[in-house]
Chains A and B, each alone.
Chain A
Amino acid sequence: MARYGMVMDLRTCVACDACSAACSIENQTPFWDNKFRTKVLDIEVGTYPEANRQFVPTICMHCEEPACVEVCPSEASFVTKDGFVLVDYEKCMGCRACMAACPYDARYVYTQENVAKAKQLYSEELSQHLVPHVDKCTFCYDRVGQGMDPACVSTCPEKSRVFGDLDDPNSEVAKLVSAGVAKPLRPELGTKPKVFYIL
């Protein structure tokens, strides 16, 4: 069984937001309400005269010890056998405990208004979001199941995102992680994230 992970290379990200757009189209996230499963933050690093601009792509870390799954009272948040952290929309009652527990701010609320708008945009039959729920990145679970990369990875023109099996020593992600080039965020929290960053 593969253990999928992602590496984000901050040296090459140019904040073109193609990842957010591709994800929005693929997963019907409420872009009209400025809500995205993956977004690129534009931050200032350092102080004048050494101040610099840094683009930081964010996404669900698909942690191996996910705090969101542990707190979920309705078993809506769960981990698949191959390590994807997903939300069962039908089971989610929207208590937001997972949002409070997630140290990476990876979740947002797909409201009743968002559901209505999605049905209007994509039609009742084709809308992926039929009930309000807490939403997050799935690593494009369906695409990966069909042998494709997640939409954000396929779209990135700078190849700033690399996706693959962390347990496959020949995969690029495994090489970057095992060499210590790519590092996880906030490892001290013990969540064991599967998304790594190259600074």
Chain B
Amino acid sequence: MSHHNIKVNDREYVVQEAYEWPLAVYLFFGGLAGALVTIGVFLYYMGLNETVVVVAILSAIISMAIAGIVLVLFELLRPFAAYRSLVNWKHSGISWDVILVSLVIGGGLLFVLPLLSDQIGTLGGITTFLSSVQWLLGGLAVLAGILFPIISGGLLSSFNSVPLWHSPALPVVFFLTSFSAGFSYLLLVSSAYFSEGMKKGFWGFIFGLSLLLILISLSYLETIKNGPVEAQLGLGILKQSKPFLYGFVLVGLVVPAILGGWLFFGSYVSGIAFIGALSVIIGGFVLRHYILKAGVHTYPWPY
């Protein structure tokens, strides 16, 4: 592989080239799908309009199935061998990632089918059976939806050769950004079904998650400043990337926190809510993309 070497004090460093933007899309849509299914199931048991639940879960499944899985499959050298990724669950975090995504999609789809029985009928009694185990399917999908962003962040943070990733902050950051993107997505696509109080509640969540994200990002930065050279070089790449600075720091962190606070504590303005929700979603993707791009590791010199 051709590398772009960075030399510091006689040691050389390279940016990893194994993971590129398709994986960032997969991680983003996977986390978004997990969050949407989780929020959808909770909204259903809170007695909210079923249409919202159907929109949440089906769009999660569609986003994941089409954009995430298909893209990653085409990134594989042998897409048709992808089923093998389910076998090494005892050792491999990636196996768990694939299992969890399957549970989000499968559990979500089976959970939502009984809600569509007016449109699709009982399918020979299938939807009747599914409605009798709906709580179980919903529970499984929720568990998988919560765990997916945590496990995928944990997977990257398990690579100790890339110190920028090797941090317990990453699973938390992935979790927070997935769920704030989930709430934002719902506000964008099914805003009409929510009361103003409900929307304010959603913005309360987004505001809280954004503040947490800022706190964790700041402490993450502090540990990197005193951390290994590789992590500092990765941070340098992020600092020099305008799309990261504008796309994540400004649009993904600052804007959602300010607008979230405004919409939660102040008056609700639909146009501002639209901008805020879009910002959260853009920030979530840009974060993943640039975290992968800044994965610097030592090129192993024996010094």
Nearest-CB residue, chain A, relative to B299: A105
Whether the Cβ atoms of B300 and A92 lie closer than 8 Å is: no
A 107-149 binary contact with B (CB < 8 Å = 1; else 0): 0111110000000000000000001111000000000000000
Answer whether residue B77 sits at the interface, using C-beta atoms and an 8 A cutoff: yes
Answer whether residue B158 sits at the interface, using C-beta atoms and an 8 A cutoff: yes
Which residues of the partner chain A approach B98 to less than 8 Å between Cβ atoms?
73
Whether the Cβ atoms of B18 and A100 lie closer than 8 Å is: yes
Interchain CB contact (< 8 A) of A185 among B92, B155, B302: B302
B 204-223 binary contact with A (CB < 8 Å = 1; else 0): 00000000000000000000
Binding stretch for chain B, among A20-28, A64-72, A173-181: A64-72
Main secondary structure of the interface of B (DSSP, over half): loop
Of A56, A71, A100, the most chain B CB neighbours within 10 A belong to A100
Tell me the bound Cα distance from A105 to B162 in angstroms: 12
Whether the Cβ atoms of B78 and A131 lie closer than 8 Å is: yes
Whether the Cβ atoms of B76 and A95 lie closer than 8 Å is: yes
Whether the Cβ atoms of A197 and B94 lie closer than 8 Å is: no
Answer whether residue A85 sits at the interface, using C-beta atoms and an 8 A cutoff: no
Whether the Cβ atoms of A75 and B87 lie closer than 8 Å is: yes
Which residues of the partner chain A approach B59 to less than 8 Å between Cβ atoms?
none
Answer whether residue A183 sits at the interface, using C-beta atoms and an 8 A cutoff: yes
Tell whether A75 pairs with B78 under 8 Å between CB atoms, given A97-B18, A186-B298. Answer: no
Tell me the bound Cα distance from A75 to B79 in angstroms: 16
Answer whether residue B16 sits at the interface, using C-beta atoms and an 8 A cutoff: yes
Tell me the bound Cα distance from A94 to B73 in angstroms: 10
Answer whether residue B258 sits at the interface, using C-beta atoms and an 8 A cutoff: no
Interface size class of A (residues with CB under 8 A): 35 or more
Tell me the bound Cα distance from A41 to B297 in angstroms: 17
A 83-99 binary contact with B (CB < 8 Å = 1; else 0): 00000000111111101
Q: Closest CB of chain B to A113's CB: distance in Å?
A: 11
Give the B interface residue count (CB, 8 A): 41
Whether the Cβ atoms of A103 and B1 lie closer than 8 Å is: no
Tell whether A91 pairs with B81 under 8 Å between CB atoms, given A71-B92, A102-B161. Answer: yes
Residues 26-42 of A contacting B (Cβ, < 8 Å):
34-35, 41
Q: Closest CB of chain B to A192's CB: distance in Å?
A: 13
Whether the Cβ atoms of A75 and B1 lie closer than 8 Å is: no
Whether the Cβ atoms of B300 and A58 lie closer than 8 Å is: yes
Whether the Cβ atoms of A109 and B77 lie closer than 8 Å is: yes
Whether the Cβ atoms of B19 and A93 lie closer than 8 Å is: no
Answer whether residue A169 sits at the interface, using C-beta atoms and an 8 A cutoff: no
Answer whether residue A171 sits at the interface, using C-beta atoms and an 8 A cutoff: no
Q: Closest CB of chain A to B118's CB: distance in Å?
A: 40
Whether the Cβ atoms of B161 and A183 lie closer than 8 Å is: no
Whether the Cβ atoms of B88 and A67 lie closer than 8 Å is: no
Interchain CB contact (< 8 A) of B93 among A35, A56, A71, A75: A71
Tell me the bound Cα distance from A163 to B113 in angstroms: 62
Answer whether residue A76 sits at the interface, using C-beta atoms and an 8 A cutoff: yes
Whether the Cβ atoms of A133 and B16 lie closer than 8 Å is: no
Nearest-CB residue, chain B, relative to A189: B160
Nearest-CB residue, chain A, relative to B72: A95
Interchain CB contact (< 8 A) of A72 among B2, B10, B88, B161: B88
Whether the Cβ atoms of B302 and A56 lie closer than 8 Å is: yes
Whether the Cβ atoms of A112 and B88 lie closer than 8 Å is: no
Tell whether A199 pairs with B78 under 8 Å between CB atoms, given A67-B161, A73-B85, A97-B18. Answer: no
Which residues of the partner chain B approach A69 to less than 8 Å between Cβ atoms?
91
Tell whether A100 pairs with B19 under 8 Å between CB atoms, given A92-B81, A108-B1, A185-B300. Answer: yes
Tell me the bound Cα distance from A199 to B10 in angstroms: 15
Whether the Cβ atoms of B87 and A96 lie closer than 8 Å is: no
Nearest-CB residue, chain A, relative to B17: A99
Nearest-CB residue, chain B, relative to A182: B302
Binding site for B on A (CB under 8 A): 10, 34-35, 41, 43, 45-46, 56, 58, 67, 69-76, 91-97, 99-105, 108-112, 131-134, 183, 185-186, 189-190, 197, 199
Pick the 6 closest A-B CB pairs, nearest first: A94-B77, A103-B161, A74-B84, A73-B94, A93-B81, A132-B77
